[in-house]
A = this chain, B = another copy of it.
Amino acid sequence: MTESPFLRDVPAAQARTAWRAACAAAGCPPRLPAVTVSLEDAVGRVTAVPVWATRSSPPFDAAGMDGIAVRAADTVGAGETTPVHLGPDDYDVVDTGDPLPAGRDAVVMREHVHDVEGVAELRAAVPPYGHVRSIGEDVSAAELLLPEGHRLRPFDVAAAAAAGATQLSVRRRPVVVVLPTGDEVRPVGSATGPGEILDTNSLMLAAQARELGCEARCLPIEPDDPGRITAAARAAVAGADLLILVAGSSAGRDDHTGRVVAEAGVLAVHGVAVRPGHPVVLGAIDGTPVLGAPGYPVSAALTFEIFAAPLLAELEGAAPRRRPRTRARLARKLASPVGMDDWVRVRLGRVGGTVVATPLPRGAGVLTSLVRADGLLVVPAGLEGHHPGEEVDVELLRGLDEVERTIVVIGSHDLVLDLAASALRAADPGITLASSNVGSLGGLVAVRDGLCHLAGSHLLDPDTGAYTLPYVDRILAGHDVAVVRLVHRDQGLLVARGNPLAVSGIDDLARPDLRYVNRQRGAGTRVLLDAELRRREIRSDEVAGYQREEHTHLAVAAAVAAGRADCGLGILAAARPFGLDFVPVAREPYDLVVGAGALDDPLLAPLWALLDSADFRAAVGALGGYSTEEMGRRIR
């Protein structure tokens, strides 16, 4: 292997240019070959040559109305008091679309003809070519109908048919082959052992390619053996227009891919100034472009968008498809690494007339950040980030109309909100309830800053024993907010089934043999824990695991179920699906704090109706650990 020079850590645009140049030098064809397909199969494909009309449409002068065809000159002088009469030889009855009979040059609407025993009486003259659809009105033979490089839509193909086409010359569909690698990677559907992960990337990348109209094929997973990967890659490129080599999940596995590409072909770029997606590899093997995608799923998905999608469009000779964009106000400060384009997933919602963007978790492994995202915000390499409230440009992952029908909930996490989201959607597919879990305190701040319609909150004031309202008074003083009770719910310690360590309550948390798993700062459950500890004069550093923070009840339950912790404070509804035992600590109210104006916003009406419905209350009851007695009651 001879080390040839390649680019490292360059901006995405430079990487794309270098890749394109390397592909050209390696003999990759710039465009896919043209193929002739039926009109039916042409929709969605890209024209390989311009489409010129070979037939005019309509192919004849035609009546534009139902009525009679006449010679306009015969009607000159006709008026209300001076009607003109045309005998049966001087007109023809025509329907819309009928060819204009020879010798006729105008049509009179049926409604304007008085038929007197076969003689047509006209009370107005008609201009020549009145109500006549000229030959070629739609398209004229020899006219350029569609340029080369045009992605065909249904009406394009229909117009081509009307203009005489019976088949069309389009680019062949690009063939994308995905080659997953990694010792620890198992096919989707397998049982995974410790340290093993599922190959969700191949499924996703192939689907992304198919979404762009490509044929896509996934190869079996290759272990981390450079010889085997090289052989598999060499075999794969023969039938591919783009080979995507997916690295395993470890850092440094891209070095692997880089070496394989350099050895089997030409390595153009290794590492781009993009986050996530930095360890991307770009090159070519045997005249086929190769993209080395990182193993982290968000990196893999974005790498496809940033590098594969433009290449595939270019192979088809078409403009790359771009998502629509919108302007949005950033919900909070966003720090970003200088020197890298930072692709931030955001939730969007229209609150108080402004579209607000709330950044989602940024880890390259958090695929749900893409699932829950409504848009992508790119912080360019030259920027250190954005201030809260700054207006930013967001690429839309969902339609803006869907965004506008989204109830934005920021605050504490509760399963009842998930249940409500499902129920609202089932009743009206246009409605979304999107909740971001930042804890109760964060929710109240979001309401204050106009970033959400609602905040779920269950904040205990240790001094008074009252919930939420004291915090509303403090944080939302002077703001016009309402508070609506959602549920009462049981909080307790989640412990392994059978409670093997015999945890009896908060007092036990000082036991050195117990590993606790905590919630993040600002979470109501954390506030509850701290109050309970203070009441018992237990210091936080006496609680082993106090520093381990999870962001949801379910994450706490998962940690306990996996044996990574012995107990954690959470709700009964989170214990159940994991088969955990539950040691009750408190019954607390969980409320919705409603931002100014949102209470009467028609967008939220279906939610209030839902809280009144017996079916929904029954469904909440079935979760366990909830009382719905006060559901929907306005407490402020």
Q: How far is the CA of A159 from the CA of B429 in the complex (A)?
A: 21
B-side contacts of A95, CB under 8 Å: 250-252
Q: Which A202-259 residues have a C-beta within 8 angstroms of B?
A: 203-208, 210-211, 248-252
Do A555 and B140 have beta carbons less than 8 Å apart? Answer: yes
Q: Which A271-318 residues have a C-beta within 8 angstroms of B?
A: 295, 297, 301, 313-314, 317-318
Complex partner residue of A159 from B149, B368, B564, B578, CB under 8 angstroms: B368
CB within 8 Å for A162 and B200 given contacts A43-B210, A429-B149, A547-B129? yes
B-side contacts of A96, CB under 8 Å: 249-252
Q: Binary interface profile of A, 566-584, with partner B (CB < 8 Å = 1, else 0)?
A: 0000000010111000000
Q: How far is the CA of A129 from the CA of B544 in the complex (A)?
A: 12
Tell yes or no: A624 within 8 A of B by CB: no
CB within 8 Å for A207 and B574 given contacts A194-B60, A547-B129? no
Tell yes or no: A449 within 8 A of B by CB: no
Complex partner residue of A147 from B156, B402, B421, CB under 8 angstroms: B421
Tell yes or no: A331 within 8 A of B by CB: no
B-side contacts of A192, CB under 8 Å: 59
Smallest distance from the beta carbon of A171 to chain B beta carbons, Å?
11
Tell yes or no: A407 within 8 A of B by CB: no
Tell yes or no: A478 within 8 A of B by CB: no
Q: How far is the CA of A30 from the CA of B405 in the complex (A)?
A: 22
Do A195 and B429 have beta carbons less than 8 Å apart? Answer: no
Mark the stretch among A320-328, A499-507, A597-605 that contacts chain B: A320-328
Q: How far is the CA of A184 from the CA of B59 in the complex (A)?
A: 13
B-side contacts of A319, CB under 8 Å: 399, 401-402, 405, 429-430
B-side contacts of A419, CB under 8 Å: 144
Q: Binary interface profile of A, 460-483, with partner B (CB < 8 Å = 1, else 0)?
A: 000000000000000000000000
Tell yes or no: A385 within 8 A of B by CB: no
B-side contacts of A211, CB under 8 Å: 43-44, 153-154
Tell yes or no: A83 within 8 A of B by CB: no
Q: Which A102-148 residues have a C-beta within 8 angstroms of B?
A: 105, 127-129, 133-148
7 A-B contact pairs sorted by A residue (CB < 8 Å) = A39-B188, A95-B251, A128-B545, A142-B554, A143-B418, A148-B425, A320-B430
- Give me 6 other A-B pairs in contact (C-beta within 8 A), A147-B425, A149-B425 excluded: A43-B207, A60-B562, A129-B548, A141-B577, A154-B205, A161-B188
A: residues with CB less than 8 A from B are 39-40, 43-44, 50, 56-62, 65-66, 95-100, 105, 127-129, 133-150, 153-159, 161-162, 166, 184, 188-189, 192, 194-195, 197-198, 200-201, 203-208, 210-211, 248-252, 295, 297, 301, 313-314, 317-322, 324-325, 363, 365-368, 370-371, 396-397, 399-402, 405, 415, 418-419, 421-422, 425-426, 429-430, 432, 545, 547-550, 552, 554-555, 557-559, 561-562, 564, 574, 576-578
